[in-house]
Every structure is written in C-alpha cells, then in structure tokens.
Amino acid sequence: MDKVTGEKLYNTYYMQVFSFVMSLAGNKDLAEEITQETFYRALTADRAAYRGESGEMTWLCAIAKNLLIDETRKNAKKQEFPPDLDSGINLEAAVSDREMSFLIHKTLHCMEEPYREVFELRVFGELSFLQISQIFGKTESWARVTYHRARLKIQERLGEHNE
C-alpha cells in the first residue's frame, strides 16, 4: 500500500477502530496498542490481503479483533490486581459506580449474541448503527432493533437484581 493511501486509511478510520477495540478491551492502553498494530498490519500487508469483499472499516475491525484475541490468549495466565484507590477519592461513590458497572458487565457477560456485541459496539465503541450493520453484514434496521432489544434485556435483568 502506498504512503498516501495508507495515511488516508489511517486518518479516516483511526478513531473508529480505536473505539471498536476499546469497547472490546475496556483498557485504553491496550486499545491504543492494538489499534496501532492493526494499522501497521493493514499498511504492511500484501495487497491481496484486502480482497475488497467487505468495507475497509470491517476489514480493519476484523484485524483488530483477531489481534485482541491473540493478546488476550497470550496474557491469560497473568493475574491483574486492581489499582489502589487514591485516598482523595470518594470511596462510597467509587464503590457504588463500581457495583453498578459490575452488574452491567455481569449482565452483558451472560447475554446471548449478537445482543451483547451490538450493545458493546454501540455504547462502549460509540459506533453508528450503519457501522455495526457493516460489521455483522446486516441491515442498519437490524442493528437498531438488536440494540433496542439488548437494552430492554439489560434493563429487565438489572430490575431482577434490584428486587
């Protein structure tokens, strides 16, 4: 890929790919690393690697997702400990937010596909319904309906936890 095409690809899709990876990884540093590696792979790939059967965004997201899977497998045995809380933080608010965040993520973890991934791409990845539909190879209406159903399922399950 020539330099001009590569720069255009990078400038056009960087934030979208980063948002996609961030929605999956939940870690800014890892998302930045994976996004950079994604563009490196795309720009240094053999011209035949991109066959044009899908959009460029879909191709980049596929590369990013595979890189993230590889990274997750590589680090699966490492244990991460939560960072120490700074004494200046309002502990009650942090715990409350953490508990709600945990409940939402726990609900998402148990949710069946494609609802979980569509919700994550929309909320955490900040992707448009059009972009989500392109990733799944479906219509934009399908992405909207799937997201709406996912929201309803989450609200329903969170309501069960609060009872």
Q: What is the mean pLDDT of residues 136-147?
A: 91
Q: How far is CA 16 from CA 31, 42, 63, 64, 71, in A?
A: 11, 15, 13, 11, 20
Residue 84 has pLDDT above 50, yes or no: no
pTM for the full model? 0.47
Q: What is the mean pLDDT of residues 25-30?
A: 85
| More confident position, 88 or 102 | 102
Measured on CA atoms in the order 133, 107, 100, 35, is the torsion positive or negative? negative
Residue 21 has pLDDT above 60, yes or no: yes
Predicted local confidence at residue 127, as pLDDT: 84
Residue 96 has pLDDT above 70, yes or no: no
Residue 126 has pLDDT above 70, yes or no: yes
Give the domains, in start order, of the chain with CATH numbers: 1-76 (1.10.1740), 94-163 (1.10.10.10)
| Closest to 136 (Cα-Cα) out of 120, 152, 124 | 120
Helix, coil or strand: residue 119? helix
User: For residue 114, is the peptide bond before it cis, meaning its omega torsion is within 30 degrees of 0?
Assistant: yes
Predicted local confidence at residue 42, as pLDDT: 85
Predicted local confidence at residue 57, as pLDDT: 85
